[in-house]
Amino acid sequence: MNKENSIFRAGDTALRFGILVLSDSNTLSLAAVVDPLRGANRRAGAELYRWQIHSADGAPVRLTSGISFPAPALPERPDFDVLVVVAGFRLDEQATRPLLARLRRIAPHLRGLGGVDGGSWFLARAGLLDGHTATTHWEDLELFATRFPAVDVVRDRYTISGRCFTTGGASPALDMMLHLIRARQGPELAMRVAGAFIYDTVHPGHAPQSLVPGARLAETAPQVARAVGIMEDALEAPPPIARIARAVGLSPRHLETRFRRALGTTPGAFFLGLRLAEARRLLLDTGLPVQQVALRTGFGSQAAFARAFRNRFGMSASALRRVHSG
């Protein structure tokens, strides 16, 4: 795309957004797109941004919070410059052939295409991210990369690749929208918009997504934060706690002391909790066999996995699936 036409450049004319919201989207993801635009308009005292919310087919949109609202269908001929797709759950079910075909038809008329959280899946399924760098929520990154080999998938909080931009969830979407305001209207307005939300930590796009929010932890207990990062990257092949301690320059005893002070638990218990939380997610969000789930979360023994899972969640992995399938 011609850089002169990029939406992430200084511009005087109002930028028009069409926001396609799929049912079962996260309320915060939608707010992270819309509210920075509203905040920029209010603080600038001018209409810098316009937006219209659309649904896939004209039916009301119901968010995961239970909030439901009417929205016109995504038009065949867009009257906006940028399309942002916001999605959360039931991605395959909602990615219908008519919707994907419509995305392909309107894409050539747009200056920008964005995907927030699960929205990246719709752009990728329509073939609109082929050859681009993109991201999605960290829970689905591995599957996303497998499903869409023509996309350069990264674990960044948000990506900008040509006219395409994607985010890993709500907080990264807020970071990206503040970056847009900074690029178009300057850092002073972006800072005032962030201040209105009392949003002090604005992350760069290339910062990696984290399973555990770590910004404050990195300030108050940096060695604990580094240890948590090592754990997040090693769920499938968990190293001994002693090795993690050495990697952050502490003895196992001192690492335990700092974990208790910062997180109220031991490194071993915290690491086990991360692995079991990921196991629960895989059981509910994928069709992987229980044995594969155990291996993907670092349990070489099925018996050890079954025992740890039952102790944490009060039921077996199979029972959890049965309860949530009904």
Domain-embedded: residue 36? yes
The number of helix segments (H) and strand segments (E) in the chain equals: 15, 10
Among 7, 65, 38, smallest CA distance to 174 is for: 38
Segment 90-94 shows an average pLDDT of: 91
Instruction: Tell me what pLDDT residue 1 has.
Output: 45
Segment 200-224 shows an average pLDDT of: 68
Segment 26-41 shows an average pLDDT of: 95
- pLDDT tens by residue, 233-265: 899 999 999 999 999 999 999 999 999 988 888
Segment 142-152 shows an average pLDDT of: 91
Same domain, 264 and 279: no
Domain-embedded: residue 247? yes
Range of the domain at 234: 215-268
Same domain, 228 and 299: no
Domain boundary among 164, 196, 228: 196
Domain-embedded: residue 243? yes
Same domain, 65 and 164: yes
With contact defined as beta carbons under 8 Å apart, do 112 and 180 qualify?
Answer: no
Same domain, 188 and 241: no
Q: Say which CATH number the domain at 132 has.
A: 3.40.50.880
- What is the distance, to the nearest Å, from the Cα of residue 32 to the centroid of all Cα atoms in its chain? 12
Domain-embedded: residue 205? no
Instruction: Tell me what pLDDT residue 203 has.
Output: 59
Instruction: Tell me what pLDDT residue 326 has.
Output: 59
Instruction: Tell me what pLDDT residue 218 has.
Output: 77
Look at strands 49-54 and 152-153 and give their pairing: unpaired
Same domain, 159 and 46: yes
Q: How many domains does the chain have?
A: 3
* Phi, psi (degrees; rounded to nearest 5) at 12: -95, -30
Among 120, 152, 151, smallest CA distance to 136 is for: 120
Same domain, 160 and 46: yes
Same domain, 19 and 156: yes
**What percent of the chain is predicted at pLDDT more than 90?**
68
Domain-embedded: residue 206? no
Domain boundary among 143, 168, 196: 196
Of 142 and 152, the structure prediction assigns the larger pLDDT to 152
Same domain, 146 and 254: no
Beta bridge pairs of residue 164: 113, 161
Instruction: Tell me what pLDDT residue 216 has.
Output: 66
- What is the rounded CA–CA span in Å between residue 266 and residue 227? 12
Same domain, 106 and 135: yes
Same domain, 90 and 145: yes
Domain boundary among 268, 283, 313: 268
Look at strands 112-117 and 133-134 and give their pairing: unpaired
Q: How confident is the model at residue 201 (pLDDT cuts 50, 70, 90)?
A: low
Residues in the chain: 326
Angle at 224 between CA 220 and CA 225, to 5 degrees: 75
Same domain, 187 and 240: no
Same domain, 75 and 156: yes
Instruction: Tell me what pLDDT residue 12 has.
Output: 81
pTM: 0.71
Angle of helix 222-232 versus helix 252-263 axis, rounded to 10: 100
- pLDDT tens by residue, 172-196: 999 999 999 999 999 889 988 988 8
